């Protein structure tokens, strides 16, 4: 169970000053252990850049710590045992079976010269079963549909059994049923294994439903952060996404739970 501390994190691309773009302006947040934070914001807002900084794929300014340990001081292996990451566009080797692919998630636990143990195979079989991927387990990735592949990528990340799970639009290729299934699984794992989850998401209603907290980025800057009902207002969405929506907030009288539903409306606002 690990929290993620982000202190003044910046991500800048381009070495030459003339071409420099700031993808993430100083970003400070404390993701509590076991919390699920949703990153939202339009394309190019900096969601992916922030996730990539946490997992060490881009250089960052400021400090990122897992349970107070600076990620820069970790070896690749140590970091991989702490942070599992599902990229927005994973590179899928066509001629690898789903099971072999999911087994790659066990790499951080295998000795340099070792090979997968029985336990590694059990973990992978379990994850594949929970994602209902058993029928595809021994098929080649090149022969799966986009959605099936996306679930296999999720399976690899879950097989990694890291306390922190970073998901970059993990359900963008899934139908509504499998979206729910994948997110339910993450939710269940989070409860069961006390995972800390940070996910970039495009479906605002799903983001509101599954996460504890939303952080909205726009041009690399945090424009709002908090519970979904506060962050997702029709006016703010109109400003940031340039859309016309209505937002319904339903409160369950018995439990006090709120559900936020974002509904697009006809008639785009003038640019």
Partner 1 sequence: MDTARRDRTWLLAGAAFLLFAVVVGASTGPAGPDWWRVPLELVNRLPLVSFDTGVSEAEWKIVWQIRMPRVALGGLVGGMLSIAGASYQGVFRNPLVDPYLLGAAAGAGLGATIALTIGRGVTASWPLDPVPTVAFLFALATVMVTYTVGAAFGGSRSGVTLVLAGVAVVSFATAVQTFILQRNLEVIREVFQWILGRLSGATWADVRLVVPYVVVSSIVLMLHRRHLDVFRVGDEEAATLGVSVGRTRLVIVVAATLGTAAVVSVSGLIGFVGLVVPHVVRLLAGAGHRRLLPLSLMGGAAFLILADVPGRMLTRPAETPIGVVTAFIGAPFFIYLLRTRKVTA
Name which of partner 1, ligand ADP, Mg ion, none residue 79 binds, using a CB cut-off of 5 to 8 Å depending on partner kind. Answer: partner 1
- Considering beta carbons, is residue 86 or 174 the nearer one to partner 1? 86
- Three-state SS letters, 161-196: CCCEEEEECCCCCCCHHHHHHHHHHHHHHHHHHCCE
Q: Is 255 exposed, middle or buried (0-12, 13-18, 19+ CB in 10 A)?
A: exposed
* Look-up of token digits 């994850």: 127
Using CB under 6 A as the binding criterion, the count of chain residues that bind ligand ADP stands at 12
Q: Assess 95 for contact with partner 1 (CB under 8 A).
A: yes
- Given a contact cutoff of 8 angstroms between Cβ atoms, the answer to whether 258 and 241 are in contact is no
- Considering beta carbons, is residue 164 or 240 the nearer one to ligand ADP? 240
Which region, left, alpha or beta, applies to residue 69 given φ > 0 means left and ψ of -120 to 50 means alpha? beta
Q: Assess 48 for contact with Mg ion (CB under 5 A).
A: yes
- Considering beta carbons, is residue 139 or 236 the nearer one to partner 1? 139
Rounded CA-CA distance 76/83 in Å is 10
Rounded CA-CA distance 213/144 in Å is 34
Binding mask 46-85 for ligand ADP (x = CB under 6 A): xxxx------------------------------------
Site residues, ligand ADP (CB under 6 A)? 13-14, 21, 23, 41, 43-49
> In the complex, which residues of this chain contact partner 1 (CB under 8 A)?
55-57, 75-81, 83-85, 87, 90-96, 100-101, 104-105, 107-108, 110, 113-116, 121, 160
């Amino acid at each position: 169970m690990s929290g993620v501390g982000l202190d003044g994190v910046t991500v800048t691309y381009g070495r030459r000053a003339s071409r420099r773009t700031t993808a993430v302006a100083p970003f400070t947040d404390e993701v509590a252990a076991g919390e699920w934070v949703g990153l939202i914001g339009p394309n190019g807002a900096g969601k992916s850049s922030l996730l990539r900084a946490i997992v060490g794929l881009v250089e960052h300014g400021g400090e990122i710590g897992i349970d107070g340990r600076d990620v820069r001081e970790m070896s690749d292996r140590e970091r991989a045992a702490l942070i599992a990451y599902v990229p927005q566009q994973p590179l899928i080797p066509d001629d690898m079976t789903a099971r072999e692919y999911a087994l790659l998630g066990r790499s951080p636990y295998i000795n340099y010269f070792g090979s997968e143990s029985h336990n590694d195979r059990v973990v992978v079989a379990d994850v594949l079963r929970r994602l209902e991927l058993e029928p595809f387990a021994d098929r080649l990735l090149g022969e799966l549909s986009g959605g099936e592949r996306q679930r296999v990528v999720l399976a690899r990340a879950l097989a990694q059994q890291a306390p922190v799970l970073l998901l970059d639009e993990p359900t963008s290729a899934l139908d509504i049923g499998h979206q729910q299934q994948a997110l339910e699984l993450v939710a269940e794992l989070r409860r069961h294994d006390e995972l800390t989850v940070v996910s970039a998401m495009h479906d605002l209603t799903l983001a509101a439903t599954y996460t504890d907290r939303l952080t909205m980025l726009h041009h690399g800057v945090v424009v709002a952060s908090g519970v979904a009902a506060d962050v997702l207002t029709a006016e703010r969405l109109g400003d940031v996404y340039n859309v016309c929506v209505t937002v319904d907030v339903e409160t369950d009288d018995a439990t006090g739970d709120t559900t936020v539903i974002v509904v697009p409306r006809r008639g785009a606002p003038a640019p």
